Amino acid sequence: MNIEFAAERQPTLSRQCKQKISMTAFHKSSVFNFQYSRPSVFALFTALSLVLSAQFSAAQTWHAVRWVNDGDTIVLMSGQRVRYIGINAPEIDHKDQKAQPYGYRARAFNQDLIRSGKIRLEYDIERFDRYGRVLAYVFLEDGTFLNARLLQAGLAFCLYRKPNVKYHNILLKAQQDAMELKRGLWRCWTEPENKYIGNQASQRFHLSSCPVAQKIKSKNKITFFKKWDAFSQGYAPSKKCIDEFWSYKMGE
């Protein structure tokens, strides 16, 4: 009912009615009533948006990269080393180790991506690994997710490791796509059947003859007859018994 019209017809109002009219007028003039106080609500909404935007911008810290170690490790201008979470790229030459297939291609691909600008780091549960490297998901300014891009290109494989598994499903899907399209590591894959034992708790697979495989609890055991099948389900090879994770011979 219109307040002014009600007042004309009832010049003598009860105390209770006056209170109702007073409360109605308050709600119509309140900043919480969008219909009757549009400028006030708009101003409040705008101010709130600016505050949230400022907080979001402050949380977006961008880093310049000094150099790229390999396909999954970089060094920031501050000197801090960063290890990409959830993936493992083939190794390049070290003091006592020869380069693995696609090791230098993975590094070059990583370099090409990072040349396009600064990076943003996103963390998971653990902030550092045992070597003091920062563990991170790495993003470019255009939103490119570097961890996933290396997998999509077939230049790394998934490395599941609790508790840092926030994006594991996304990373596994990227690897599965690369395997289906036979990219990079998966391009010339060929292997005879063998027997591998996977641990469903750690998502690692071992040669069936590996002593570690014999200690896996029955409820966690899963058997694979090809490394390909283990990789496609998100398992990574154990370093304790599988020196060569690839299944082909190919020069760089």
Q: Mind telling me the catalytic residues?
A: 83, 91, 133
Q: Is-contact 196 208, C-beta < 8 A?
A: yes
CA separation for the pair 49, 42 (Å, rounded) = 10
- Alpha carbon 42 to its chain centroid, in Å, reads 36
**Where does the chain show beta strands of DSSP type E?**
62-63, 65-68, 73-76, 81-84, 87-88, 119-122, 134-140, 157-158, 196-199, 204-207, 221-224, 236-237
Burial 77-107 (b: 16+ CB within 10 A, else e): eeeebbbbbbbbbbbbeeeeeeebbbbbbbb
Closest CA relative to residue 175, chosen from 198, 158, 160: 158
Q: Which residue shows structure tokens 């020069």?
A: 251
Bridge partners, 244 (sequence order): none
And the tokens for 188?
């010339």
